[in-house]
Every structure is written in structure tokens, then in C-alpha cells.
Amino acid sequence: MISIKNGEEIRLMKEAGRIVAVVLNELKNFAQVGIETQELDEKARRLIKSFGGKPAFLGYRGYPYAICVSLNSEVVHGFPSDQSITDGDIISLDLGVEIDGFLADAAITFGIGRVDPENQRLIKVTEEALYIGLAQAKEGNYLGQIGSSIEEHVKKEGFSVVREFVGHGIGKNLHEGPSIPNYSLPITTPLLKKGMTLAIEPMVAYGKGDIYISSNGWTAKTKDGSMAAHFEHTVLVTPQGGKVITSI
Ligand code: MF3
Ligand code: CO
């Protein structure tokens, strides 16, 4: 069952989505060499509160922070810590916000200072893959068209999608059906319908894309130590394709 949201539910999700976008943008501007990643978490909590929202990740299955900060070869679910950002890092920030029981979820990746051009290309291709995928979140399309278009773009550019984590339906809960893999599957159903809300989130690695979970029980890192990037938007399925609701 994939829930269809009514107008009021969509309005709340858009409000949550706008807060996600504003906060991610503020954090991106604040992130620089010498900042400890836990300062980003503190700032996120303050900002979300000031906008009247709730951090959706905090306490979710015991996750202990408001945001995920994944540096370099960390793929997703990096813990904010006293580690400082350094020149040349690539950093992913992932954030979910709740407003009156409805959620939105998004992630961005960006480089700090003098970033290796190949890492810059990894970031660009991952963001492109997100937009290519969300264009397929169109009423009447099959769900599988999202993942196959993402995988095709990533492969063409010589990178790998990470297969252990997937996008998801979202609404009252952070993770609802359906699962949205970033690769093609033999079974491409169900059909997408207007009013579904999906979090589409390609995770892309420079190398092979195999991952392991680090000793904190959460953080996924690439096995080969290669860099990884992650972009995510919450979108509303419409006849024109996925309409991003996690933007300003
Ligand atoms: N965007 C990620 C996801 O959908 C972030 C979840 S972090 C968690 O899986 F702590 F909430 F799990
Ligand atoms: Co998500």
C-alpha cells in the first residue's frame, strides 16, 4: 500500500520541506574548514526549533542526532562529532523535519575548499542522477523507471550506485512503502499515482559501491575507501513528474 496524501497533508509536507531546504542551505553556508561537524547538528536543532518544526531523525530507531554528516568515504548516516572539516573534504548533510505529524527528507553533498576535480564530478553526477530519477516520478509511470534511469546515468559516467540503501515513500512516517532502489529490477511495478510522496535518494560511489557499517552501528562507509556522494529530495508524484517539495 502506498498512501495518497490529501491537500492538507501535502500542505504540511511542503511546509516541512521548505524548512528542510532552508536549514540545509544555512548549514552549507556555515560549513567550512575548522568547523566541527557537531556544530552543524547544534545549528540544525536551533534553526528547526525556531521555525516550529521537529527534527525527524532524532530518536528514529535510536538515531542520536538531528542530522547525518557523512564525510568523504562515508556514504550515509555519519554521526556529527568533534571532527573538524578540512580542506578538500566532500561532505553530505541529510535532514528530516516534521510539522504537525508530516515529514520531509532531503540531502545534499558539497566540497570544501580545494576539491579534487574528480570528486567534484562525482558530486555533479549524483545530483544529476537525482533529477533524472525524480523526473520519472510521474503519474502513470512504473516505480522502477526511477531506479533504472538513475543507474543508467551513474554507470554511463563510470561510477557505482550503492545498493544497500534505497529511497522510500514518506509522509506520516520517515520510511513508508514503496522502497525505491537506485538500480533497475526485473519487476518494475507498482504504477505511480498522483498524490504519492517519495523520497528519492541516489547514493553514488567513485569505486565499486560496496559498503560496510562502522562500529557505531549506523555509519555506512565504502569498503574500498573511495569517495561517496548522496543527494535526496522529497517529491510529490504529478502528471508532469516529481515535484520537489524540499526546496526553498
Ligand atoms: N535520509 C536517510 C534515510 O531516509 C536518513 C535517515 S537517518 C535516520 O534513510 F536516523 F533517521 F535513520
Ligand atoms: Co531518506
Q: What tens digit of pLDDT does each residue of 157-178 get? A: 999 999 999 999 999 999 999 9
What pLDDT does 1 receive? 81
The neighbouring-strand residues paired with 221 are: 74, 212
The ligand with the least distance to the CA atom of 94 is 1
Separation of 96 CA from ligand 1 center, angstroms? Answer: 8
Beta carbons within 10 angstroms of residue 34's beta carbon: 9
Q: What atom of ligand 1 comes closest to residue 63's alpha carbon?
A: 10
CA atoms of 184 and 124, how far apart (whole Å): 21
What integer is the mean pLDDT of 121-133?
A: 98
CA atoms of 105 and 68, how far apart (whole Å): 11
Residues with CB under 6 A from ligand 1: 57, 60-61, 63, 68, 77, 94, 105, 107, 168, 174, 199, 201, 232
Average pLDDT of every residue of the chain = 98
What residue's CA is closest to ligand 1, atom 11? 57
Cβ proximity of 102 and 172 under 8 Å: yes
Confidence of residue 210 (pLDDT cuts 50, 70, 90): very high
pTM beyond 0.85: the answer is yes
Per-domain residue ranges for the chain? Answer: 7-244
| The CATH number, out of the four listed (1.10.1740.110, 2.70.98.10, 1.10.10.10, 3.90.230.10), of the domain defined by the range 7-244 | 3.90.230.10
What pLDDT does 181 receive? 98
